[in-house]
Amino acid sequence: MMRRFSSLVCLLALGACAPQTQGDVLEKVVLLSRHGIRSPTQSPQDMERRTGHAWPVWSVAPGEMTDHGAKTLAAMVQAVQETYQKTGVLPASGDCQTMEQESVVWADTADHRTRQTGEIWAKGIAPECAVKAQWAPTAADPVFNALGTQSGRVDSLALRRDFEAAERTLPEPASTNALKKLQALLAPKGCLSDPASPQCLAGPTKIEWKKGTPRLQGGFVTGGMAAESLLLAYSEGLSLTDFGITERDAPAFIDAIMPAHEAENHLLRRLPEYARARNSIMAESIRAFLSDRSVPSIPSVLPSTKVLVLAGHDTNLAAMMALFGLDWSFPDQPDSTAPNTVLAFERWRHSDGTRDIRVRIFHQSLIELREGRAPDIEASAITLSPSWPVLARQP
């Protein structure tokens, strides 16, 4: 279940931790956001071949954000904007000159949905101002995926050790039960006809290498994909009756199958070595920004920048879990890196001149995503306690 953490992370180079007082000032914040609700990244035909069950046709092409997804993301951004405007790190409404000087929105260039997410953030945090979302001019950006740009390399031996450790700590029996439920739902006879088929979720999950990049193969890959796709369909407002799931039963069913997706993340995306190779440039960019150093990977960041928004993917959130030693879950959202989830790194200055870094996570519940509603951020936000200081590299 959800873990709540309340301790602060000391910014050792700048001062000791101190409780928040009336004189505390929020100086800088990094907001790492997942994109809005999207369609599955594979076509319904490919989904059926992989799972053995027919899948709905969406209103957009595979992997694209929907109109409902854009609306729901805009509601989330507005809630975040109102929260940070109260702290003073975002200027009062109408102060466009300050907003344009102090805010940078940097989106992953690789996908239309992330560029679109950046545009929604730029418009939402600066209503009526000329803040523009930006992204790298290249086909891929090492900030969001260093492996995709040849900037990161995986140590295969270290990855193997991480994977074996992850297998030993896989949450059970929830993970296995999730696969059993998905097997019964999608392809009850999938293992009888061909145990080696992707439709058989009982097969072992292992790492394979493709063009020098590690990938997962096995039951948790197909199961995790199917579980997330069902969550996305429900969040979009689609009916799941073709799967034999009523609207009343859908939230509980999705809650029961999402451990398969969490296991998929646990077995690769949250492995320290994989996260280091893929997203250490993002982590270092966050550290540099919060330390008032230059951020060469995001050239639009200036000394005047106070708010940095990174519009990325669930893979980026999972990597930050590994690289900063973070962990979280939600009581009303079974996907820890669901659409619109926002990870915030805040730098606070106290009245005595000391500073500290606070890490918080914001999310929308499963029902809020389906209904397109913003969350009550102050009520639902979780303060996290990293395993090591944010400005220190992982041991």
CA dihedral defined by 46, 50, 52, 56, rounded to 10 degrees? -40
Write down the pLDDT at residue 186: 97
Write down the pLDDT at residue 12: 35
Write down the pLDDT at residue 11: 38
3-class secondary structure per residue, the chain: CCCCCCCCEECCCCCCCCCCCCCCEEEEEEEEEECCCECCCCCHHHHHHHHCCCCCCCCCCCCCECHHHHHHHHHHHHHHHHHHHHHCCCCCCCCHHHHHHHEEEEECCCCHHHHHHHHHHHHHHCCCCCCCEEECCCCCCCCCCHHHHCCCCCCHHHHHHHHHHHHHCCCCCHHHHHHHHHHHHHCCCHHHHCCCCCCCCCCCCEEEEECCEEEEECHHHHHHHHHHHHHHHHHHCCCCHHHCCCCCCHHHHHHHHCHHHHHHHHHHHCCHHHHHHHHHHHHHHHHHHHCCCCCCCCCCCCCCCCEEEEEECHHHHHHHHHHHCCCCCCCCCCCCCCCCCEEEEEEEECCCCCEEEEEEEECCCHHHHHHCCCCCHHHHCEEECCCCCCCCCCC
**Distance between CA atoms of residues 26 and 359, nearest Å:** 12
Q: Which tokens belong to 270?
A: 């949250």
Write down the pLDDT at residue 203: 84
Write down the pLDDT at residue 5: 33
Buried/exposed 364-373: b ≥16 CB within 10 Å, e otherwise: bbbebbbebb
For the entire predicted model, the pTM comes to 0.93
Write down the pLDDT at residue 364: 98
| Largest distance between two CA atoms of the chain | 70
Write down the pLDDT at residue 395: 55
Instruction: Render pLDDT for 161-192 as a digit per residue (tens, 0 to 9).
Output: 999 999 999 999 999 999 999 999 999 999 99
**Short-list 181, 170, 228, 208, CA closest to 47:** 228
Write down the pLDDT at residue 82: 95
301 C-beta neighbours (distance < 10 Å), count: 18
**Short-list 381, 355, 342, 329, CA closest to 9:** 355
Instruction: Render pLDDT for 28-67 as a digit per residue (tens, 0 to 9).
Output: 999 999 999 999 999 999 999 999 999 999 999 999 999 9
Write down the pLDDT at residue 22: 62
Q: 211 pairs with which residues across the strands?
A: none
Write down the pLDDT at residue 195: 86
Write down the pLDDT at residue 19: 44
Write down the pLDDT at residue 133: 97
Write down the pLDDT at residue 125: 95
Instruction: Render pLDDT for 253-270 as a digit per residue (tens, 0 to 9).
Output: 999 999 999 999 999 999
Cα angle, residue 145 at apex, residues 287 and 44 outer, rounded to 5°: 135
Write down the pLDDT at residue 394: 59
What domains sit in the chain, N to C, each tagged with a CATH number? 10-22+349-356+376-395 (no CATH), 156-268 (3.40.50)
**Short-list 361, 265, 374, 256, CA closest to 314:** 265
- Name residues of the chain where pLDDT drops below 70: 1-22, 393-395
